[in-house]
Structure 1
Amino acid sequence: MITDRGQQTVMYRNGSVYSPANPFATAVLVHNDRVAWVGEEAGADSLIDPTMVTVDLDGLILVPGFVGRVAEGDESADTDEVLARAGYTAGVVFTDRGVSLRSIYTNDSHDLPHAVRVASPGEEFVGTEDHGLLLAASLEDEAWIDIVKEQLKLGTAIGLVGDTSIVGAPETPNPWAWATKALRLDSQESIGLPTRATFTAQTRGLKRLFRAGGPFGGQIVPDAPVDFVGWRAEALMVQTADSRIAAWSTDPRARTPLLPELSDTSYPEARLARVGSRELSWS
């Protein structure tokens, strides 16, 4: 079901919110097309009033929307719904004229700055902290994992996007498959990436390269554009790739926002998406 929230003030609550503003957040208040507040249930109780609309998340975790790759010309309401249901709220389009990012349900489109390097695994390239790197890679070719690791160590601003169109494919890939692959759960020799690193490269990292959403693009924080997806997950944790230090930490003193637990057998499932004033929900 698609709902146009228009000028409504909406409180999404009774879930979990991946936000650097509050790692324990369970609710987010949205006014028009901006995040107005992020916090916990006690705070939500003090803010709620009869003029607001309340959406019960029923335990969903809200995270910034993923960015996938779409084919040129795939710009329709049907395409937007396919993207949203898969957990993507924006798509990168590669053409002979350049590379651009388009958000679903809005007219927002951003061209990739010329200074940002675009590369695929196997190419010779140099990323820089100032200019950044857009890495177009295949999920099956694990070379991208080590490239992301190395570029992050160098301080490169990096964005990760799949190299095949997700629209029209027999099965639109679940975006969490990338973070699961990067963990290298079955590897005894090669250490992979923490879930947070891969997730950030697919969300905020890409938004930063395209300069989309301003300084808060790709985050759920006050004053950020509304752009998030609600996921049904079995458990939440801080999952790392190094089993020697335990696969996750639940120490609240770390104040690190939690993400869904990932495994090779199942992925979180998208159940709600909100971009701008448009909200899409399904069972």
Structure 2
Amino acid sequence: MEIFRGDETVMYRNGSVYSPADPFATAVLVQGERVVWVGEEAGADSVVDDSMHTVDLDGLILVPGFVGRIDASQASQDTDVQLAQSGYTASVVAQDDSWHLRQVFTDQTLDLPSAVRVAETSQNFTDIEDSGLLLSADLNDEQWIDVVKDQLKAGSAVGLVSSSSVVGDSTTLNPWEWATRGLRLNSQDSVGLPSRATFTAQTRGLRRLFRAGGPFGGQIVPDAPADFVGWRAEALMVQTADTRIAAWSTDPRARTPLLPELNEHSFPIAQIARVGSRELSW
């Protein structure tokens, strides 16, 4: 079902919200195309009134929308619906030796600044790019894990995108598969990436490179664009590939926002998306 919310004020509550504004948030208030409040249920009770519409998340976790790669020929309304239902609220297209980012359901595109380097992991890329790196990678080529690790260790911005379209003939790649693969759950020799690092590279990291959404693009915080997806997940946690810090990072006192627990047998399933004033549920 698709709803155009316009300037309506909508409270999304009774879920979990991945937000640096409040790591224990369960609710988001949206007015028009912007997030205006993030908080917990007690706060939602004090904010909500009869003029607002309320959406019961029923335990879903809201996270910023992923960015996926598509072919230029796939940019259409039908593909946008398929992307949104799979958790992608923006797409990246490589065309004529340049890269563009397009929000779903709009014709607006942003060009990648010339200072940002683009690399394929097949190039055995090892340089650190201070101006930022857009990494186009093959999911099955685990070199991308080490490239992302090196970029983040150096404090450089990195965005991670598939080297091929995430949209197939009848299916779309589940974006959580990248974070699951990045954990290197079956590796005895190589330490992987925390799920949060891979997730950020696929969401806020890419938007930062394209300067999309302003300073709060790719986050669920007040004044950020309304751009998020609700996922059904079996459990939430802080998942790291390094067992030495697992106990610390999951301590509530660390105030680290939670993400879905990932494994190689099943992935979270998207059930609702909000992009600007458009809301889709299925």
**% of aligned pairs identical?**
69
Cα deviations across residues 145-182 of structure 1 (Å, max 9, x unaligned)? 01111111111110000011122344311000000000
Structure 1 Cα separation of the partners of residues 107 and 92 of structure 2: 14
8 Å CA contact 1:102, 1:110 repeated in 2: yes
Give 3-state SS (helix, strand or coil) of 1:271's partner: strand
Structure 2 Cα separation of the partners of residues 174 and 122 of structure 1: 22
Aligned AA for 1:256?
Answer: T
* Aligned counterparts, 1:1-283, within 5 A: 1-123=1-123, 124=125, 126-129=127-130, 131-246=131-246, 249-282=249-282
8 Å CA contact 2:249, 2:256 repeated in 1: no
**Deviation of 1:126 (Å):** 2.9
Structure 1 Cα separation of the partners of residues 246 and 97 of structure 2: 47
Aligned AA for 1:208?
Answer: R
Aligned AA for 1:224?
Answer: A
Give the direction of change, closer, same or farther, for the CA distance of 1:249–1:97 in structure 2 (3 Å limit): closer
Aligned length: 281
Q: TM-score, normalised by structure 1?
A: 0.96
Q: In structure 1, list runs of 5 or more residues that go unmatched.
A: none
Give 3-state SS (helix, strand or coil) of 1:42's partner: helix
**Deviation of 1:107 (Å):** 3.2
Cα deviations across residues 84-141 of structure 1 (Å, max 9, x unaligned)? 1111000000011510000002333110000000001132463333x10000000000
Q: In structure 2, list runs of 5 or more residues that go unmatched.
A: none
Q: TM-score, normalised by structure 2?
A: 0.97
Give 3-state SS (helix, strand or coil) of 1:186's partner: coil
Structure 2 Cα separation of the partners of residues 82 and 248 of structure 1: 38
Structure 2 Cα separation of the partners of residues 119 and 270 of structure 1: 30
Aligned AA for 1:184?
Answer: R
Structure 1 Cα separation of the partners of residues 156 and 247 of structure 2: 26
Cα deviations across residues 45-83 of structure 1 (Å, max 9, x unaligned)? 001111100000000000000000011032222111100
**Moved segments of 4+, more than 4 Å:** none
**Deviation of 1:191 (Å):** 0.4
